[in-house]
């Protein structure tokens, strides 16, 4: 079975400051990794994903995450946050192949609050 641990339930930060949201996972098989964002009263939106290739993946709005296999981590970073980045962020994994391909196992979520 797979599990995902998001190490911080809440992260407050000031606008234009850097931020890191931490994610560790546990799995006995190969996994793909994802970050989702959920704005208030909205559904989950895929922010970025790691399937293969470069271990550093980027989103269109300035977030990046790096897959570290040895540390089983997939931390999310942004060098300068904006008020509009305030949301809940979920880290998730999906087993490569298998019968339940595509099934996501989520962490508990990290609420990012950006203060002016």
Partner 1 sequence: EAGVAQSPRYKIIEKRQSVAFWCNPISGHATLYWYQQILGQGPKLLIQFQNNGVVDDSQLPKDRFSAERLKGVDSTLKIQPAKLEDSAVYLCASSFQGSYGYTFGSGTRLTVV
Binding site residues, partner 1, CB under 8 A: 4, 32, 34, 36, 41-46, 49, 51, 90, 92, 94, 99-109
If DSSP codes are grouped into helix, strand and coil, which group holds residue 84?
Answer: helix
Interatomic CA distance for residues 99 and 111, integer angstroms: 32
- Per the rule left: phi > 0, alpha: psi between -120 and 50, beta: everything else, 62 is left
Closest approach of Cβ 40 to partner 1, in Å? 11
Nearer to partner 1, 81 or 95 (CB): 95
Nearer to partner 1, 31 or 81 (CB): 31
Nearer to partner 1, 90 or 114 (CB): 90
Which own/partner pairs from 101-106 qualify as long-range (CB within 8 Å, at least 24 positions apart)?
104/34, 105/2, 105/3, 105/4, 106/4, 106/36
Closest approach of Cβ 16 to partner 1, in Å? 29
Which H or E run includes 99? Answer: none
Nearer to partner 1, 14 or 101 (CB): 101
In 3-state terms the chain splits into helix, strand, coil percentages (rounded to 5) of 5, 55, 45
Closest approach of Cβ 67 to partner 1, in Å? 14
């Amino acid at each position: 079975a797979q599990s995902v641990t998001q190490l911080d339930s809440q992260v407050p930060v000031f606008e234009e400051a850097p931020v890191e949201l931490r994610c560790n996972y546990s799995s006995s098989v190969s996994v793909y990794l994802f970050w989702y964002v959920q704005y208030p009263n909205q559904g989950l939106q895929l922010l970025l994903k790691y399937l293969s290739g470069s271990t550093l993946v980027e989103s269109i709005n300035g977030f990046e995450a790096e897959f570290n296999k040895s540390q089983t981590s997939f931390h999310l970073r942004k060098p300068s946050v904006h008020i509009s980045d305030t949301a809940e962020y979920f880290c998730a994994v999906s087993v490569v192949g298998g019968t339940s391909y595509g099934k996501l196992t989520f962490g508990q979520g990290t609420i990012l609050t950006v203060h002016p």
